[in-house]
Amino acid sequence: MDVINDMQTIPLKTAIAVGCTAVAIVFALYFWFLKSYGSDDSGQRNYLPPVPEVPGLPLLGNLLQLKEKKPYMTFTKWAEMYGPIYSIRTGATSMVVVSSSDIAKEVLVTKFPSISTRKLSNALKVLTADKTMVAMSDYNDYHKTVKRHILTAILGPNAQKKHRVHRDTMMDNVSNELHTFFKNYPDQEVNLRKIFQSELFGLAMKQTMGKDLESIYVKDLETTMKRDEIFQVLVVDPMMGAIEVDWRDFFPYLKWVPNKSFENKIHQMYTRREAVMKALIQEHKKRIASGENLNSYIDYLVSEAQTLTDKEVLMTLWEPIIESSDTTMVTTEWAMYELAKNPKIQDRLYAEIKSVCGSDKITEENLCQLSYLSAVFQETLRRHCPVPIIPLRYVHENTDLGGYHVPAGTEVAINIYGCNMEKKVWENPEEWNPERFLNQNESMDLYKTMAFGGGKRMCAGSLQAMLISCIGIGRLVQEFEWRLKDEAEEDVSTLGLTTQKLHPLLAVIKPRK
C-alpha cells in the first residue's frame, strides 16, 4: 500500500522526464544495434552479429597469447572455448580463425569472390617476390596464366604420365639405399627422411630443370655449390624464412621503423636463392646450345611462356622445386612413423598389398585396388595435415561467414588441423586410425580432410603428392618390416612452415622374405 501511495505522489514532471529518458535509451540502443549489425559499407542491410572475440589486451590484442610461429594447436584449443569461428587481434590487424569444415568450405567456395586475395607477411612479400607464385598470388590473370603452365607441364594428369619415369627411378633408388643400409648396419635405426628427401629433391630437379646436378658454379656468389647446399638454399632456408616474424607485420603504422636483423636475414635468403636459380637457368641454356632437350618444365617455359619476365620465369621454376620437396616427404614420414608404431595396421596393409600385387612390385596401376593404403594416406593427411593453416586470405569486401558479419579488411585463417580435430565430425580425433576411411565408398576422395584446401585455389600438386606418397608407403611396407625401438616416445612436435616432424623418424627395418 505504501508503495502505491508513494508512486501516486511522484510529480507529473518527474514522470515525463523518466519516460523521455527511457525512450532516449531505447533509441540509442536501437541506433547502436543498427550501427553494429545493421548495414555494411555498401549500404546493404544485414542483421548479423560480429564474430565472437577471443579476449586480449588493449593495443597488443592476442599477440602475447600466440607463442608459436604457426599456432594451429593454440587455434584449435581456442575453438573448443570460443567456437568454430572466432576473431583475434594481432596488434592492429584483426583476423578471423575458422576451425570447422563447413565454414571453411564457405570461405573456400561460396564466399570465395569476397575472399580471393592474400595479404602477405613482410617475409613472404620478399620470398614470393611480391606474389609472383601460383600459390601466393591473388586470384587474377597472372595466377591463371602461371597455374595453366604448371598444370600443363608438370602437375596435370598428362604431365604426370610424362614424368612417371622419374617417380619410378626415385622409388627404386630409395629401396636400393634402404637394402644397402640394412646390409651394412642390420641393427641400427635408419633415418628415412635423409634418404627420401634427397631422392624427392632429385625428382623435383629433373621435372623442373631436366637434371639433378651434383654441383653447380654460382657466378653471382663466386662459389661452387654442392647438391646439399643447393637444397639448403632452394628449399630449407625459404621454408624457415616463410614463418619468420617481423613485429612490423602487426603494427603497419610503424613500418618506417627499421628492423635490420630481420631485413638482412630475409634479403640474404632471397639473393642466394636468386643466384642459384640464375646459375641453373644458365646451365640449361648451355644444355640447349649443345642440342639436348630434356622435356622438362624449363624447356616448356622457354618455348611457351614468352610473356613472362625473367623474374617471373625464375619464380615459376623455383615454385615446383620447393613444393615438390617438402609436403610429400612430410606425409610419407608421418605415415611410416604411425605404421612403425602400430604393427597390426602395418600387417593389415602388407596383407592387402600381397593379395593385390602378389610377388610383383606395387605400381601406380594397382592404387585403385588398394583401399587400405588409401585409408592410411588419408588418415595421415587428417591427423598430421602437412599444411595446418591455409595461407592467409584477405576479405576485400564485406561478407558473412558461419552466420556472422565479417567486414572488409579482415584476414581469414583456415585452421585445417582444427577442422580435422572437430569432435562432432571425427570420433576420437587424436587417434590415428585408418579404419575411419574404409567402408565410405570414397576411399580415393582426396578432399574429405581438406588437406589440399578447396575450391578454385585447391592444391595443384595433389595428384603428384598422392602418387608419390602412396607408392612410397606401399613399397616401403612391401619390402620391409618397420619398427620403432621399444623406448621410442610418442612424438608429434613439428618444425618449419609445414608439419615436418621435429625429430626425424628413426626406425629399425627388416627386409621381408
- Residues near ligand HEM (CB under 6 A) are 108, 134-135, 147, 150, 155, 320, 323-324, 327-328, 331, 386-387, 390-391, 451-453, 457-461, 464-465
Nearer to ligand HEM, 51 or 390 (CB): 390
* Closest separation in Å from C-beta 387 to ligand HEM: 4
* Closest separation in Å from C-beta 508 to ligand HEM: 26
Residue for grid cell 607477411: 121
* Closest separation in Å from C-beta 504 to ligand HEM: 18
* Closest separation in Å from C-beta 63 to ligand HEM: 24
| Burial tier of 55 (Cβ tally within 10 Å: 0-12, 13-18, 19+) | exposed
Helices 297-304 and 141-150: crossing angle, nearest 10°?
130
Q: For residues 221 and 74, what is the distance between their CA atoms, to the nearest angstrom? A: 41
CA distances from residue 483 to 151, 189, 342 in whole angstroms, order as listed: 38, 9, 9
C-alpha cell at 297: 618444365
CA distances from residue 292 to 107, 147, 154, 283, 477 in whole angstroms, order as listed: 46, 27, 19, 12, 38
Q: For residues 351 and 492, what is the distance between their CA atoms, to the nearest angstrom? A: 28
C-alpha cell at 336: 611410416
* Closest separation in Å from C-beta 151 to ligand HEM: 9
Nearer to ligand HEM, 153 or 155 (CB): 155
* Closest separation in Å from C-beta 447 to ligand HEM: 11
Nearer to ligand HEM, 98 or 451 (CB): 451
Instruction: Give the max Cα distance, the chain.
Output: 111
Nearer to ligand HEM, 138 or 481 (CB): 138
Beta-carbon count within 10 A of 211 CB: 18
Q: Which residues have a Cβ under 8 Å from the Cβ of 152 and sit 6 or more positions away?
A: 158, 159, 300, 304
* Closest separation in Å from C-beta 320 to ligand HEM: 4
Q: Are 388 and 364 within 8 A, CB to CB?
A: no
Nearer to ligand HEM, 405 or 457 (CB): 457
Q: Are 377 and 466 within 8 A, CB to CB?
A: yes
Nearer to ligand HEM, 61 or 461 (CB): 461
Nearer to ligand HEM, 91 or 386 (CB): 386
Nearer to ligand HEM, 38 or 156 (CB): 156
Q: Which residues have a Cβ under 8 Å from the Cβ of 110 and sit 6 or more positions away?
A: none
* Closest separation in Å from C-beta 460 to ligand HEM: 4
Query: Which residue number places its CB atom closest to ligand HEM?
Result: 461
